[in-house]
Amino acid sequence: MRRPQQKHRWIAHMDLDAFFASCEQLEHPEYRGRPVAVGALPGHRGVVAAASYEARKFGIRSAMPVSEAYRRCPDAVFLRPDMEKYRRASRQVFQILETITPVVEAASIDEAYLDVSGLDKLLGTPGEIGREIKRRIFTGTGLTASVGIGPNRLIAKLGSEYRKPDGLTVITPEQVLDFLAPMPVANLRGLGPQTQKIFGRLGIRTVEQLRTAPLSRLEEHLGKKAAASFHRQAFGFASDEVVPERRRKSISKETTFAADVRDNDVLHDALRGLAADVARTARREGLSGSVVTLKIRFEGFETHTRQYRRDTPTHDERAIFKTAWQLFLGGKLPKKPVRLIGVGISGWEEDQPAVTQADLFDQPLEKEDNQRVLQTIDAVTEKFGKGMLQLGVPRKTDS
C-alpha cells in the first residue's frame, strides 16, 4: 500500500504536560521539582488522576491506586483535584490557540487539534508554527506543552507524544513510514489489551511488522473492520479533519466507596446522585442522550459495564437513573461487594427533542412544567450546592 502523492494538510496536536500537576506546581512554587500526584489522598480509596514528571520517575502514573503511589514515593505531594482551577487554565490555553488559527478542536481539557495549513506566510514553516504555539502558551500561562505536527490527526498525536515533556516533533508525509516503523503497535489508536494479546500471539510487536502482515491473516484474527483500521494506521492513513467545537462523546460520573458496599440501598442512593450530576451537566451543555452506561468495579479492579439505548434521548436524571438501576438489577452482574459505581450518558441525538420520563409519584408532568422543575433544581444547585433540592425517585431495590 503506497501513500498517494497529493497536496496535504498540516495538522497540529497540542498536549499540555502533566496538566493537573503542572497547574499545582505553577500556583505553589514549593512543589516545583518535587513529585506531585493529583487524585485521591493516601489512606483513602481511589487512584491517581495525574502525576508530575518528577513523580513518574518513581513509576507513579495516572489510574494507579493511590496506595501503590504512596508505597512508591511516600515523600510525594498528594493533592485533591481542583477542577475549577484546571478549567480556568484550560480556557486560557484555548483562547491562546485561537490566536494561532480559528480551526481548533478540543480533544479534552488539556489537548487540542489545530489545522495550521496555509499559515506559512504568517508564521513560517511547520516547525516555526509549533515553536510559536509553545511560546505563546508558556508566555501566557507559564505552562509547557508538547506539540506534534503532521499530515493528519494520527501522526500529529503520535508526534506530540514522541518527545514529552515540552517537546516538538514535525513529521512530513515523506517521513511518515519511517517514523511509524519502529513504534510498538500499542501506540496505535483503538488498540486495547485484548487486541494487543492477539498481536502478541501473531508475533506482531512493531508497526513495521504489522505493515508487512498479510491483511487476510489480520482479518482472520481481528475481523475485517478492525484489521482494516489497524492496517491503514500502520501506513499512516488517518483523518485530517479538524472540527471546531466538536462536542464531547459522553458525560459520566463515578464514585469509589471507602469500603466495599453490599447494601443495595446505599448503591441506589449513590447512583441516583451520580445520575443527577450527569443530567445537570447535560442540561448545562444543551445535550440529550439515548445511551445510558452503567459502570461497576469490584475488588481487584474487576470492572463491568452495561449499556442500554433508550427509544428517546433525555437529560432528565430520573430517566437516566431508572435505566441505570435496571441495568444494575438485570445486568447479570457478579454478586460481590461493589468498590466503585458510575453512570454515563452518550449517543447525542440532535434531531429529536429531549423526552423526560417523569417518575415523580408515578404521574407524568407536562413537558413545560417538567422543564421548569429541572431549571429550578439547576438554579438552586448552582446557588446553594448539590443535594439541597432533588427529584423524588421511588426506592425499588429488589426488582
CB count, 10 Å around CB of 50?
Answer: 23
Pick the closest to residue 130 from 103, 94, 108, 156 (CA basis). Answer: 156
CB count, 10 Å around CB of 80?
Answer: 12
The grid cell for 80 is 485533591
**Exposure b/e, 358-386, CB count within 10 A at least 16 = b:** bbeeeeeeeeeebbebbeebeeebeeeee
The grid cell for 198 is 492477539
> Can you tell me the distance from the alpha carbon of 356 to that of 335, in angstroms, rounded to the nearest whole number?
31
What spatial distance separates the first Cα and last Cα of the chain, rounded to whole Å? 56
> Can you tell me the distance from the alpha carbon of 150 to that of 155, in angstroms, rounded to the nearest whole number?
5
- C-alpha pair distances (Å), 37 with each of 63, 70, 136, 167: 11, 9, 27, 22
291 phi/psi in degrees, rounded to 5 = -105, 120
CA angle 241, 244, 247 (to 5 degrees): 100
> Can you tell me the distance from the alpha carbon of 112 to that of 94, in angstroms, rounded to the nearest whole number?
8
The grid cell for 155 is 501522526
Q: Is 285 a catalytic residue?
A: no
* Catalytic, out of 111, 241, 254, 349: 111
Measure the CA dihedral 309/315/318/319, to 10°: -20
The grid cell for 151 is 499530515
Half-sphere exposure of 132 (CA within 13 A, CB side): 18
Catalytic residues: 111
